[in-house]
Amino acid sequence: MTKAPSMIPWPRLLEIVKTGWFMLRAVIFDYNGTLLDDLSVAYGSVVEIFRVYNIRPPTLDQYRQEITADFMKFYYRHGFSDQPGNPLYANAADLNVIRKAYYKQHGHLADFRPDAEGVFQELVSRNIRLAIVSAEISSVLLERLEFTGLAKYFNGNMKGSVWGDKAPALFETAQRLGVVCEDTAYVDDSLDGTGAAKRLGMTAIGMGSGYCSPERLLLVTPYVINALTELLRFTEIEPLGAS
């Protein structure tokens, strides 16, 4: 269950002291690997990249244990070169061309987690505000959400193309939702995303069935789930200190 943050604005602290309860007011989601169950497609694109360069690909387990937002380190560790002129030289732009082509052909195999819409409906019914902050290309993100009819749950609070540190986008999104970071949860399947949320004082929740292994996520946050329905227990009012 959620824990009381170490830094709480005075108005919020007074409210908690008076009522004895703590509750989340907003949930922000990552997209790839969190809402969209696309691990198999993502790993397939990795295998394709290694095939093009004629390098033996790492296993799925290796991928989940090692991948980070700075994904080129992963490729350089497994045989690619960062030296121009080397036959195995590659940069992020080179690899993204292959990834995009692979996703264009196989992306339809990835779908939203089956419990996604039900969880959105339940969270909205509890007056929880929802948003998305993702590295996915903005146009791709919005098109997929509109096509599936899920965009309506986010009231326009869908921010894509967030590369690098997600902390500024998460902070801005919380402000736009009208909540403080300490009343907000961020659900992500990466060390980088959960780490950014934790630095802001948000409740960082790891998606353990996404790109990153549960064991790695537990290094950042004690809260790791494998299904979106498990989120609901984080939005139930409970006495401070409950476990």
The answer to whether residue 30 sits within a structural domain is yes
Work out the number of other CB atoms within 10 angstroms of the CB of residue 229. 15
SS3 189: coil
CA distance 179 to 129: 9
Range of the domain at 86: 39-109
- Are 86 and 43 contained in the same domain? yes
90, 109, 128: which is the final residue of a domain?
109
CATH of the domain at 154: 3.40.50.1000
How confident is the model over 5-30, as pLDDT tens digits?
334 444 544 444 443 344 689 999 99
Count the alpha carbons within 13 Å of 158 in the hemisphere toward its beta carbon.
20
- HSE at residue 15, side-chain half, CA atoms within 13 A, is 9
Q: Write the pLDDT tens digit of every residue in 122-167.
A: 999 999 999 999 988 888 899 999 999 999 999 999 998 888 899 9
* Lowest-confidence pick of 52-66, 84-98, 133-147, 196-210: 133-147
Q: How far is CA 143 from CA 97, 140, 151, 167, in A?
A: 20, 5, 9, 24
Residue 4 domain-assigned (yes or no): no
Count of structural domains, the chain = 2
> Is the whole-model pTM more than 0.75?
yes
CB-CB neighbours of 162 under 10 Å = 23
The helix/strand/coil state of 218 is coil
